Structure 1
Amino acid sequence: MRVKRYVVDSMPDALQKIRSDLGKDAVILNTKEIRSGGFLGLFGKKKIEVIAAVDGPGSAPGSGARQTAPRAAAARAPAAPRPAAPVAILEPEQLSFPEVPDVLPPAKPAQQPEPAAEPKGAPPPPQVSAAGVYSPPKPAPAKSREDLLFEELKQMREMMQKLSLQAGGGEAAVPVTAPRVRERLAEQEVDPLLVDMWLDRAKADADELGEPLTESLASRSVRSQMAGLLRMEGHKAIAPQTKIAHFVGPTGVGKTTTIAKLAAEQVLKHRRKVGFITSDTYRISAVEQLRTYANILNVPLEVVFSPQDLLKAFAALEDCDLIFMDTAGRNFRNEMYVSELNTLLRTQGDSETYLVLSLTTKYKDMKAITGNFTKFKLDKVLFTKMDETDSYGAVVNLVHDFGLQLSYVADGQNVPDDIAELDEQKLIDSILEELPDE
């Protein structure tokens, strides 16, 4: 193979020189723009560097096979003008090599040994074009996170099937039926692991009775297991001996409105003397909102800006039976904010800390927030915005994962009405709505 370099002003000049020097079978390997002349690389003239090559030891211009004719015929008839020989040019994407590629010698067909089998997962061999130009192998496309997750789930499923076969003495596990119950729980965003556990228990109960697992039997069993999870011995309402009730939670869940509802209940129904403390000085008009409720209920309000102000606030409200403390909503997925807030949760006597969460929040975020708060003092959980969603599985998931005591649930903006103690049976009916239980 002959390889030759040209420095020209334009591509037509290059093509003419390549055709005259290397013949019609020449191939352009690379082109790039360079600067020629000038002073210290400056003021140089733009040129084009062209690398061309042709197969064979010495291809001369016009050295291709030509048809011959008798001399007499050639003398009688004048030779017709021959069209210019075409030059083979690579596609544009093949011309963008940063450097002149290596030229590989032609392989020896008779003396080369047979290629050994490549190990699994080895990179593909180098590719050589017909012109003898080396092309690097294309890397395999990287797998996306979804593909990796799918493969991992597939492996876990295969492992579970193997374990089922081993536990069953080599027989395949009997699939759990009751698809309507499973579908309803999935719609309510109940944890799939919890659903599997409940339905497995329902299947075991059906096997003990010697009956097939029907929809009604599965529904009754799930209702019973859910009731056992949600039923707790503690008081949902504010305990009579509680002196301070702290309310914590992320932004926008309705802590201030919830405090106003509960304070009105304590004042009007239980005849307790109530006071307010707020540290929510981040949100615009937050203090004024609570001050409006304090004026309506005729109860005192203290504003604190630091933990040092708490002692003064407690001293000013020492004659109150119950103090409601409103805290600033922050991004409590960040543990640092929870730690800062914990310095404000000082107690003067018996106290309770309520985590306020909105049922419109994704359970993944609820879980992260609750996980950070459980590292400190947390007694009960209160849910708001029940009227803005028809999915209640997060309540079940949170109780199962953290074992928190349920308290109140708010289902509207009206003060002091739209709040009540959470009714487990009502919640179960809402989750398993329209499923047979008889």
Structure 2
Amino acid sequence: MNIKRYIAGTVQEALQMVKREMGPEAVILETKTIQSTRGAARAGKRVEVTAAMDYDPRPIGATAAEGPDLQEVLERYRYLEEELKEIKNALLLAEAGNLMNPEIRYNRGLKTRYLNFRRFGLMPEMIDHLLEEGGTAPGKGNESAADILQDSLQQVLGRISISPQAGGARDRKIVAFIGPTGVGKTTTLAKLAALSAIKQGRKAALITTDTFRVAAASQLETYARIMGIPVETAAGRGEFLKALQKHKDTDFILIDTAGSSPNRKDTIRELKKTLEVPEPIHGYLVLSASTRYQDLLHIDRQFGTLSSKSYIFTKLDETEDPSSMINFLVSRKEPVSYFCTGQQVPDDIEPASKKKVASLLLAKMRRGAEKTKNEVSIYGSGESTERRSTRPQSRSFQSGTAE
């Protein structure tokens, strides 16, 4: 580990020195203001940045030598495979139990609605709430499957809140991009900055409080230079307040923050303290669409201390199953603002809409139908008659749930 201190007139100059000497992967350990007494020209306040770089990577052969042998890996795989089979069987039994509920089993509209919710990927507790909201009274009897599907969609969409697009109004607005590491906060900020400055012609400015990673500040400076937008680096609350004051006449201020583990409560408290300023700041909690539902809830609880908040979901292009995101949005009162579908700035972002959510739900439903169709085709053509005859209950269940 190589640790070194850099002293410069501003944080940006110090970070550039770190980048030139250690590269973009260097880690910033500390940033502070010091009083310099070296020479008349350099006397006064300076910035000291302590950075570190690991120059002692593990030997290439170490991983292979220390790793488990092939037999052990295969045993673990077989064990996991058996566990997955048990879980799948338990889920099928649970669904079969719900379908045996007389209120659902003998009510065609309710049964179809229940199956629609399941095919959307909704969790059982979500389905229970939606069925209770919709009531269990018998349907008209002449409702088509398409009508029931449309009603099911409308019911799910009615539980998801959509926020207005940021930067649309001419009033001054300050937004902060917060969330865990690796979800694309800086890229998302750049997309919204480009839309505001280039397409809407608004006066915008960027502020980054992420002084822990050299690459983050450098990336934001590159985006700002391309878009012709000023950018400020703020190490600590004092510099953050000065940056806000410097751009007091700017229409739209976008703040990039350092990613944090949701388990680092001290870091999140420090972030909240930094963002507590006289002017209201709207927090965009940036989340990945591929994150598990329980993890999304945990992240939201830990970062949910801001008074004004909405969600931005990234990486929709990297997941085939948006169920976790949909379940999360159905369970939250706060709105979703944007969806991101790639890395391109500013193209791969769109304002959240009910239409987009509906398309995701229907796509999930279609993929499930295709998968079921393929599985039925394989069992129907690839197995012997004797083997197929041992699965009458499974086949009957599949045909019964296809209504």
Aligned pairs for 1:118-137 within 5 A:
none
Aligned counterpart, 2:176: 246
In 2, the alpha carbon distance for the partners of 1:353 and 1:242 equals 15
After TM superposition, the structure 1 stretch with the greater mean CA deviation from structure 2, 258-267 or 172-181, is 172-181
In 1, the alpha carbon distance for the partners of 2:288 and 2:161 equals 21
Matching residue's letter, 1:197: H
Contact 1:202-1:221 at 8 Å conserved across structures = no
Aligned counterpart, 1:193: 125
Contact 2:203-2:250 at 8 Å conserved across structures = yes
Aligned counterpart, 1:181: 116
In 1, the alpha carbon distance for the partners of 2:200 and 2:305 equals 33
Length, aligned pairs only:
270
In 2, the alpha carbon distance for the partners of 1:402 and 1:308 equals 34
Aligned-pair CA distance for 1:231: 4.8
* Among candidates 191, 202, 209, match of residue 272 of structure 1: 202
Q: Which runs of 5+ in 1 are unaligned?
A: 1-145, 166-170
Contact 1:359-1:392 at 8 Å conserved across structures = yes
Q: Which runs of 5+ in 2 are unaligned?
A: 1-82, 370-403
Deviations 1:85-104 (A, max 9, x none): xxxxxxxxxxxxxxxxxxxx
Aligned pairs for 1:19-98 within 5 A:
none
Over the matched positions of the two proteins, sequence identity in percent amounts to 32
In 2, the alpha carbon distance for the partners of 1:242 and 1:333 equals 33
In structure 2, relative to structure 1, the CA distance for the partners of 1:362 and 1:356 (3 Å cut) is same
- Cα RMSD after superposing both structures: 3.2
Contact 1:355-1:381 at 8 Å conserved across structures = yes
Contact 2:177-2:257 at 8 Å conserved across structures = yes
Deviations 1:300-356 (A, max 9, x none): 111111112112212222232211100000102443332221012134534311111
Aligned-pair CA distance for 1:173: 4.5
Deviations 1:395-418 (A, max 9, x none): 332233221111111101111111
* Among candidates 342, 348, 352, match of residue 422 of structure 1: 352
Deviations 1:358-390 (A, max 9, x none): 101112111101112223324211111111112
In 2, the alpha carbon distance for the partners of 1:203 and 1:182 equals 15
Aligned pairs for 1:276-295 within 5 A:
276-295=206-225
Larger helix proportion of the pair: 2
Task: Name the SS for the 1:177 alignment partner.
Answer: helix
Aligned counterpart, 1:323: 253
TM-score w.r.t. the length of structure 1 is: 0.55
Aligned counterpart, 1:65: none
Matching residue's letter, 1:290: L
In 2, the alpha carbon distance for the partners of 1:321 and 1:196 equals 45
Q: Which has the larger radius of gyration?
A: 1
Contact 1:244-1:322 at 8 Å conserved across structures = yes
Task: Name the SS for the 1:318 alignment partner.
Answer: coil
Aligned-pair CA distance for 1:229: 1.5
Deviations 1:1-28 (A, max 9, x none): xxxxxxxxxxxxxxxxxxxxxxxxxxxx
Greater RCO (CA < 8 Å, at least 6 residues apart) = 2
Matching residue's letter, 2:164: H
Contact 2:173-2:253 at 8 Å conserved across structures = yes
Aligned pairs for 1:16-415 within 5 A:
173-175=103-105, 177-178=111-112, 180-186=115-121, 190-199=122-131, 204=136, 207-210=138-141, 215-232=145-162, 234-240=163-169, 241-347=171-277, 349-415=279-345
In structure 2, relative to structure 1, the CA distance for the partners of 1:348 and 1:239 (3 Å cut) is farther
